[in-house]
Amino acid sequence: MAPDAPASTLAPGVQTVVSFLLFVHLFALAVGITSNESPSELETALRNRTGVRAYLEPTMMDLSYAFTFTYGPTTGPGGDTQAWVEVELNLPDGTKRTEIIPGTFPYLRQRARRYESLARRAVTMIGNPTFESMIPAAIVNRLVAETGATGGTVRCGWRQLPVVPFQPTGEQEHTTYQARILVSDGAVELFKIESASESAPTAEKKADQKIEGATP
């Protein structure tokens, strides 16, 4: 690194091989980074057909690194606004228990961030009939297994943030998904509530009998 640094400690042959590997790595990295956000056909082809994905995906370097941290005012759940999943459970003893994701985790921000991401992922999929109940159903299934709940309600929503900078007023909460939880014979079903009416089951997940503590 210094101008008067001694010669490489690697043998010339090894150095040649390492140079080749560095070229390959940097090429793959460049393709991986640039092929995430609005990729050209060339970038997509390079990523798919040159083994780049088989190299970058296992190493978790197939990312765009386009970290903006904030998009500012958001008018929908797809931005960086706060999202939540609320599960209200009817416990066997007749009481109710409410679990909200993300919860609060003082001093453990990494935990909080994971649950924030989970809630955001759940909310951003709402409106897609194939996927919208996937995460709520998984969350409910787990919580029913943990608590032995006999029913309840699950809601997903997001907070509409102010649209005028420097004026922190006008926050609104929107519930964008709501479903009734039905537990019978070891199976957990979600019945999506649309306005005042109920639709057919949107998700059905068989509770695994092997789960410790699971109560049919």
Partner 1 sequence: MIRSYLGTLVDRFGRGWNQFWFSPSDPLTVSLLRLLTGLLATWTLVTYTWDLDRLLGAQGFIPLADLKTLVDQRDLQSGLSGAYRFSYFDYLTTPGQLRAAHAVSIAVVAAYTLGLFSRVTSVAAWFIMLSYFHRTAIVTSQFEAVLVFLMLYLCLGPSGAYLSIDRWLKRRRSPAAATLAPLSSAATISLRLIQVHTCAMIVMMVLAKMYGDVWWNGTAMWWMMLNSPERIVDLRSWGSHFLGKYVLNAWTHAQVLLELLFPVLVWQRWARPLMIVWAQTMWSLLPLVSGLVSFSLAMQIAMIAFVRPDELRMLWAGFTARHPDAEPAAS
Restricted to residues 53-72, the positions that interact with partner 1 (CB under 8 A) are: 53-54, 57-61, 63-72
Asked if residue 31 lies in contact with residue 1, where contact means CB atoms within 8 angstroms, the answer is no
Q: Which of 93, 197, 200, 212 binds partner 1 (CB under 8 A)?
A: 212
- The stretch among 52-60, 150-158, 175-183, 193-201 that binds partner 1 (CB under 8 A) is 52-60
Asked if 24 touches partner 1 (CB under 8 A), the answer is no
Asked if 36 touches partner 1 (CB under 8 A), the answer is yes
Asked if 42 touches partner 1 (CB under 8 A), the answer is no
Asked if residue 181 lies in contact with residue 136, where contact means CB atoms within 8 angstroms, the answer is no
Asked if 210 touches partner 1 (CB under 8 A), the answer is yes
Angstrom distance (rounded) from CA 123 to CA 125: 5
Closer CB to partner 1, residue 110 or residue 195?
Answer: 110
User: From start to end of 91-196, where are the E strands?
Assistant: 96-101, 151-160, 172-184, 187-194
Say whether 143 sits in a helix, a strand or coil. Answer: helix
- The stretch among 12-20, 89-97, 173-181, 193-201 that binds partner 1 (CB under 8 A) is 12-20
Burial of 185 (0-12, 13-18, 19+ CB in 10 A): exposed
